[in-house]
Structure 1
Amino acid sequence: MKKLIFALILGVFSVAANAQTSPQKTAKVITKQVVDIACGECQFKMKGKDCELAVKIDGKPYFVDGKGIDDFGDAHGEHGFCNAVNKAEVTGEIVSNRFKAKEIKLLTIKK
């Protein structure tokens, strides 16, 4: 009887300890996909603190890590990302609701 109680207690502690570990964050890999690229706040109406580069993948916008909004020219210029949505070919991963860019190749500049 003592062994059964001990086994039950051990089992409860094992489940409780397992529940406290955070789940692994899965990443969605994107390879050379053509997407919309612009300022998340100005063009995609995302909530943010400042103008920040974003891409729209499969219809959903993601802020970009690894590249900045001014890396492709003045974001507030006449054809900058705050004033126009452009196309880009991107490679990277979606992790924790953000796009981790490995490569961004701008394809169009709206004029």
Structure 2
Amino acid sequence: MSIEFTDVSPALRRIVITGRLDVPGTDAISTRFAALAASSEHRIVVDLTGVAFLASMGIRALVINAKAQQQRGGRLVLFVGQNDAVGKVLDATGIPQMIPVFSDLADAERAALA
């Protein structure tokens, strides 16, 4: 499990999560994810293209951080690229109704900044 970030611009941060977002994986990154997403100066794109498995704990972490960002006046969106397994899990759980999900990175970045 790993988590990295890039400040794409002064207003946009991309957080890249790779590995398994199951209970152990989510536990391993949750504190750092919350800290990276908590920046009030940035809009956030969470890159899930390298996530091999997404369980309910991982979904919970995404929702909590998206809501926290929204309460601060920011925005968090998800980028899944061609990761159909993760995309299907997000669709099945209704996440796109709460957090915008994109298969194109440029679209995700534009939406985060909107």
TM tier, smaller:
under 0.3
Q: Select the structure that is richer in strand.
A: 1
Structure ranking higher in helix proportion = 2
What's the TM-score, normalizing by structure 2?
0.22
What is the TM-score when the length of structure 1 is the normalising length? 0.22
